[in-house]
Structure 1
Amino acid sequence: MNVVSDSLKSGSALADDYINRYARVQDLYGADFRDEEAWTRRAEWLDASEETRIDRKALAACLRQYNKKHNDHQEVHKSLDLLERAGTLAVVGGQQSGLFTGSLLVVYKALTIVLAAREAAERLQRPVVPVFWIAGEDHDWDEVNHTHVMTPELQIAKIKMDAAPGPRGPVSQIRVTGEQWKRSLDHLANLLPDSVNKPAIMDLLHQTAESSGNLSDAFAKLLGRLFGEWGLILLDSADPELRRLEIPVFERIIRHNDELGDTYQAAAANITGKGYPLQADVTADCANLFYVYEGNRLLLHKHNGTFADRKGIVSFTKEQLELELANHPERFSNNVLTRPLMQESLLPVLCTVLGQGEISYWAITKGAFSELGLQMPILLPRMSFTFISGSVRKYMDHFGLTFQDVQHRFAEARERWLNAQADLHIEPRFEEARAAFEKLYDPLIQELGTIQSGLLPLGEKNKDKILEQIAYLERKTKQALEKRHEAALRQWDSIAASLFPSGKPQERVYNVFYYINRYGFGWIQDLMDSCTRYAAEHQIIEM
């Protein structure tokens, strides 16, 4: 592998400024991740604030139970032993539990967590463990029920698992049947090209499906298979055992709910006042908590001293809500604005690994940390990669294309190349023909209008028909040229489909098993070996 740095178009102006122009947004965040002293200060604060978090031994026991089922690796148990000891810190990041792990960015987030924990341990000379937070409490099935691979025909194929009819509850509580798994696995098997790695991939996925009753369990098992050997601890936010430990944190969120809401409102006004769009909904009456009722995850709002969902299905006073929490903690879950507070209250978070959208909405939470006596951790941007195969690199070199050309100017470059293949310069010549025709025809139409007024609109209509025929001939000429250069244009298509499928970064579309099918399970190890240090800049990996 050859690794070079290059820029990738940003999906968030606020996150882009956080990463590249921190001084502009420093009042929205806790610390600059590039400031070496910030890491030491954060570690010292964690040491001094141990009592603000859930008991380590209880947390470690809960996570041992979960990882024993889904991520039973010796290195993971070593990480858990370390986490149990006072003074051990954690690098934390998470994602929703996508089908077959979802898109590549999930794998890159796990990789970043592992590398960042290793590097922080070296920098601070103390134990730092990697933790992946599976957002199993989220209920948006349509966000997690699919993934994509590229077919030999250069098509972007979607593998989707349809949900059985039922409540709109947390993904970790939505049962997946054997028939659902079979349809998705059969679809993937049909799409993946035959390779020496394919049988092992399909065996792994079938074994995972057979032992998983929902997407979150399967996600955990696959992530454990890919990263367990590096000691990556897994945590499912919907784990009932974990929820019991979280009761004191939910109590604080409920009791300080009005004050937390005020901090969110103030932060939102500050962010929009700087000209940035909000990446999460902030409304004055939102309690920023969910309650699961008859399988449905309902967002609670506040009105006249009560907590209720918008439809009025459930309604509680503050005292009733606290009692319900004590009796049924599994019915409660966080939204995007209270989840950072829960994470901070559970784990000694040295830094949290975030994508750009997450960096943007975390800016809303800074004041909320202070309200609960906590502190915003260091926000570390997720590492980002684009893989370029040897054949695609050859095509790019042949056509004189850079990564930035493909990212920003691909359609224009392709059109320019195609026109250059013909002795007849198609677009300029047809433009000349149109201009010459209009120059001769427009005065004629005007003269005809002096003979009879009805001839003027007739002439205009006739002119439009002739221009349509010229455009038709231009299209047919381009099609003929494309037919003549079909093989070369397929190479252009291969470049686009490989690097920016449907105009999106590769890492946001394709599934990791598409690449493992091509390069083997050692592909992730090779990536780890090639990127031994954390880098905020986008990395181009040339195979």
Structure 2
Amino acid sequence: MEVEGIPFKKTGYFSDLICDYLEGKETLLPFYDRPPRIDQFKEQIKAKQNFPETHRKVLYSVLKDQYKNVGISEDTKVNISLLKEASTFTVVTGHQLNLFTGPLYFLYKIISTINLTKELKLSNPENNFVPIYWMATEDHDFDEINYFNFRGKKLQWNKMASGAVGPLETDGLEAILEAFSNEMGNSINANRLKEWFAKAYLEHDNLTDATRFLANELFGEHGLVILDGNNAELKRLLLPYVKRDLLENASYKKVIATIDQLQALPENYGIQVNPREINYFYLVEGVRERLLERDGKYYINDTKIQFSQEEILAELEKYPERFSPNVITRPLYQEVILPNLCYIGGGGELAYWLELKDMFEEMKVPFPILLLRNSALVITGKQMEKLHRMNISLTDIFLKQNSLINKKIREISNIDIDFTPQKKHLEEQFKGLYELASQTDASFLGAVKAQEVKQLQGLDHLEKRLLKAQKRKLEDQVMRMTEIQNQLFPNKSLQERNLNFSELYLEYGERLIPRLMKALRPLSGDFSIVKMD
């Protein structure tokens, strides 16, 4: 196995905001506390060292309860116990409850998190660091999670669903297992995948338990701790912050002010998410709807439920589990209940975290270090051989398909398709005409300019026609280039956003995760190209 890295900026798949954040651009410095470098974590530990002991006790108690019916590894058991100690801190990633993990980057998020805890232990041996996977059990976007892709097919769970996805019953997934099994065959690796799917979704009653089982099967031996934040005891720790949202719109005011600062930057980054006056949902069985306030009354969107101010505060005190953080306040909730140092997420996630620092300061909660998760392209030995034969570099393969084909056709063609010298020669000739026109009749300048534009356009047209003709002549090479790029970039997007881990597991089996853990370095700052043998 070999690993190469290329800068995220050179892939063409990451936003200017994220690339500038990774490069430490000065204009973004006000929007976070510390950059994601190993030397910054000692200061982050100091910032989080006053995490309340009472919160640790609640966290430990809840985790013990959530793991009571799970086959827990020794490393995970130790990590849960360590959370009681003041010298223990966490690194967190979060993800939706995608069917059978969804896209491949689910694995990369968790691997980044586990590997960072190992690096932190080496540089800070006096402390302990626990990797946490935060399950998005309260999310209600069922259509985003009810499928996974396998060999170009979308295996989709068709079910009527409303409210939070975590409690959803897993009925109807036998049909997905059957379709999945029919596609895979009966190899050892295929049978292992079938077993995981069956045990996760056919032997567990709801999506929360199924996802916990699967993530634990994949990463439990590495000490991963899986947390479901949809818990009354944990949410009781959030009560003071929910009250400030209900009574003062505190989160809204701070995030709106930060968005104004971001929009005032010359880079024109755009805004990832916008806050609401109240950044919590009301959550009961089958319902997760926005909380609204009008004229001192509180309403639950699209329902007949309403409260006076006194009633909503009483409801919060009695049933804290019914108040579900949205995208703005979930990060705050995470940092309130965990002794956390770092959040690891994708580009979209980090973009909205960069809107939140002032809100955290207002709430007097330390803001974590933000780290872009590892991204990777896994290339097999056979695919590498094909790239070498076609003289396609690892940078070339990230080009948009038309640009890749044009570049390589120009390189391999036996005639010169680049008309740049002719264009320069034409421009030199017209310089003389411009000089002549200015000396004789200035009104002639417009006609000269029009003729120059016309002739340059003519050369462009001829160049494109010649390139098109060469593509036809070299059709076999074009087809081979297109085929290999489509394999590596399904649907003309990153592999990690389309492939399910099962396709790689069929090939590499139990070697897959150890190899990825060895290949991916969370603080490398590069996009990883992993060449598997």
1:46 positional shift? 1.5
5 Å matches for 1:450-469? none
Confirm or deny that 1:23 pairs with 2:26. yes
Residue aligning to 2:518:
529
1:420 positional shift? 9.1
Q: Is the 8 A contact 1:100 1:147 kept in 2?
A: yes
Instruction: Give the TM-score normalised by the residue count of structure 2.
Output: 0.83
Residue aligning to 1:93:
93
Aligned residues: 478
* Residues 373-405 of structure 1, C-alpha deviations (whole Å, 9 max, x = no match): 111111111111110111111111111112222
1:330 positional shift? 2.7
5 Å matches for 1:39-188? 39-47=41-49, 49-51=50-52, 55-70=55-70, 72-125=72-125, 126-150=127-151, 156-163=152-159, 165-166=160-161, 168-177=162-171, 180-188=172-180
User: Matches of 1:353 and 1:332 in 2, distance apart?
Assistant: 25
What secondary structure is seen at the aligned counterpart in 2 of 1:402? coil
Q: Is the 8 A contact 1:39 1:350 kept in 2?
A: yes
Percent identity between the two aligned chains: 27
What amino acid is aligned across from residue 501 of structure 2 in structure 1?
V
* Cα distance change of structure 1 residues 270 and 531 upon mapping to structure 2, 3 Å threshold: same
* Cα distance change of structure 1 residues 147 and 136 upon mapping to structure 2, 3 Å threshold: same
User: Matches of 2:95 and 2:414 in 1, distance apart?
Assistant: 53
User: Matches of 1:422 and 1:12 in 2, distance apart?
Assistant: 34
Q: Is the 8 A contact 1:387 1:540 kept in 2?
A: yes
* Residues 454-484 of structure 1, C-alpha deviations (whole Å, 9 max, x = no match): xxxxxxxxxxxxxxxxxxxx999988975xx
What secondary structure is seen at the aligned counterpart in 1 of 2:86? coil
Pick from 266, 279, 300 the counterpart of residue 291 of structure 2: 300
* Cα distance change of structure 1 residues 76 and 480 upon mapping to structure 2, 3 Å threshold: same
Residue aligning to 1:263:
254
1:314 positional shift? 2.6
What amino acid is aligned across from residue 158 of structure 2 in structure 1?
D
Stretches of 4+ aligned residues off by more than 6 angstroms: 418-428, 474-481
* Residues 264-294 of structure 1, C-alpha deviations (whole Å, 9 max, x = no match): 11011111222221111234xx300000245
User: Matches of 2:417 and 2:351 in 1, distance apart?
Assistant: 46
Greater Cα shift, 252-261 or 294-303: 252-261
Instruction: Give the TM-score normalised by the residue count of structure 1.
Output: 0.82
Q: Is the 8 A contact 2:82 2:128 kept in 1?
A: yes
Q: Is the 8 A contact 2:177 2:198 kept in 1?
A: yes
Q: Is the 8 A contact 1:76 1:231 kept in 2?
A: yes
What amino acid is aligned across from residue 87 of structure 2 in structure 1?
G
Confirm or deny that 1:213 pairs with 2:227. no
User: Matches of 1:533 and 1:377 in 2, distance apart?
Assistant: 16
User: Matches of 1:128 and 1:420 in 2, distance apart?
Assistant: 51
* Cα distance change of structure 1 residues 336 and 70 upon mapping to structure 2, 3 Å threshold: farther
What amino acid is aligned across from residue 60 of structure 1 in structure 2?
Y
Pick from 262, 281, 286 the counterpart of residue 274 of structure 2: 281
* Residues 196-216 of structure 1, C-alpha deviations (whole Å, 9 max, x = no match): 411121122112222222333
Structure 2's unaligned 5+ residue stretches are 420-466
User: Matches of 2:208 and 2:371 in 1, distance apart?
Assistant: 25
User: Matches of 2:414 and 2:51 in 1, distance apart?
Assistant: 75
**CA RMSD between the two structures:** 2.8
* Residues 298-355 of structure 1, C-alpha deviations (whole Å, 9 max, x = no match): 0112322233244463322333222112322332211011011111110100111121
What secondary structure is seen at the aligned counterpart in 2 of 1:169? coil
